Structure 1
């Protein structure tokens, strides 16, 4: 069975700057599907609704699985126009070739617009006992990143550290350089997974710098790639998190 291409839809509360995993976009066997992330124990759509979120106007039913033969219009409009004179430069900047798919481009660009607080991110992928995901460091502008960015190199290892006394997020996980400089945090919609993995000894992992964009916006400066192996207990935790996706595609 071909693995479905999944992206998480993230909404940011513009007042608190907190981000929530509110929905899932799936491309599988020629069909596009969108549904709200109701089963996340934290930072899902239910918590988002309690903190000012309103359902997307194009997807007003929180219980419905929306299905289409093509990428949904509201998401397609988030892609850069292929008629732009600089479109080839956009592909090059994101490491994409001319045989890209809409999902490839949506993942690479995040589908970000200046007019709203949505973006798409890649999920945590689990295959067998292995897992991987990547993320841009959150909170970059507030810590040591800008001071040391000229010293960072692609491929450098980074360290993670739990921060259970964090008043805003008791599941927060800090990103540190090998020398101990604080670069920021793992985004909250990924952090519980890593928090539990570290806390419970749920597996082994390696994390390193995948991209550095010194001139980008702070939230897109440094991208971290994480890969590792799960213990059977931690694998079951992640399978429980993916159960809703299995219901959608079967």
Structure 2
């Protein structure tokens, strides 16, 4: 993919299990005719999500179809505030996007497109760029571990390891704080845990740092950068989680 192409995983949280279902893939692409957008469902995951009440998006009902548009799909665009609202103008100024032709995409990417009325969010993939893997994502399980991590700070180093005793998820990757008696901070959120579980199984030593803390509940965001070989990412089942940037 050319460098300007990007993708976001469309995540729907089940109201019963609180599990994230990655029901689709939204991408922003450039070709000879210019900018266009693409959406495709992850049919296997959609079938699982339907058991908790997921319904295909308005205007994107056909699970077997690949959708294309020269504009951001309206069902996703409606999640954004009006361009005339102060919050949107402030966003443009804060992130210096006044000259960008994809401001709406950037808003989805940075804010994750969350609203107070539903369980949908848009998450960035794992990036692979010139033998460097990078990832940034919220840490799962924080509601259970917060009380034991009250001294956690931005830029604190953390270590990833396989949680072999986890009976609920055989590919669970826990995040521990070496400066707090190896206290568990949480887990790499699903399904990104699959990428890091495989790398740990290959023998990689993985560490990251706390990039930010949510101002409301203190939930930390994990950031990772690691030099790896492309061969260790050649798992077709994981391809939708990874965006390769060094192919131009």
* TM-score normalised according to structure 2 size: 0.82
- Counterpart of 2:74 in structure 1 is 73
Aligned pair in 2 of structure 1 residues 200, 16: CA closer, same or farther (>3 Å)? same
- 1:228 matched to 2:226? The reply is yes
Cα distance, 1:132 vs structure 2: 1.0
Equivalences, count: 234
Unmatched 5+ residue regions in structure 1?
A: none
Separation (CA, whole Å) in 1 of partners of 2:133 and 2:82: 33
* TM-score normalised according to structure 1 size: 0.82
Separation (CA, whole Å) in 1 of partners of 2:95 and 2:110: 8
Separation (CA, whole Å) in 2 of partners of 1:170 and 1:132: 23
Aligned pair in 2 of structure 1 residues 35, 200: CA closer, same or farther (>3 Å)? same
Cα distance, 1:231 vs structure 2: 3.3
SS in 2 for 1:209: strand
Cα distance, 1:91 vs structure 2: 5.5
Cα distance, 1:71 vs structure 2: 0.7
Deviation string 1:62-116 (CA, Å, 9 cap, x unpaired) is 1211111111111111123333334455567xx6224352111101111112222
* 1:204–1:229 contact (8 Å) kept in structure 2: no
Separation (CA, whole Å) in 1 of partners of 2:140 and 2:242: 27
Separation (CA, whole Å) in 2 of partners of 1:86 and 1:50: 36
* 1:137–1:186 contact (8 Å) kept in structure 2: yes
CA RMSD in angstroms comes to 2.7
Cα distance, 1:188 vs structure 2: 0.9
Task: Name the stretch that deviates more: 156-165 or 235-244.
Answer: 235-244
The structure in which a higher percent of residues are helix is 1
Aligned runs of 1:201-240 on 2, under 5 Å?
A: 201=203, 203-213=204-214, 215-217=215-217, 221-237=219-235
Aligned runs of 1:56-205 on 2, under 5 Å?
A: 56-90=57-91, 96-99=95-98, 101-143=103-145, 145-149=146-150, 151-178=151-178, 179=180, 180-201=182-203, 203-205=204-206
Aligned pair in 2 of structure 1 residues 21, 239: CA closer, same or farther (>3 Å)? closer
- Counterpart of 1:37 in structure 2 is 42
Separation (CA, whole Å) in 1 of partners of 2:95 and 2:136: 17
Task: Name the stretch that deviates more: 70-79 or 56-65.
Answer: 56-65
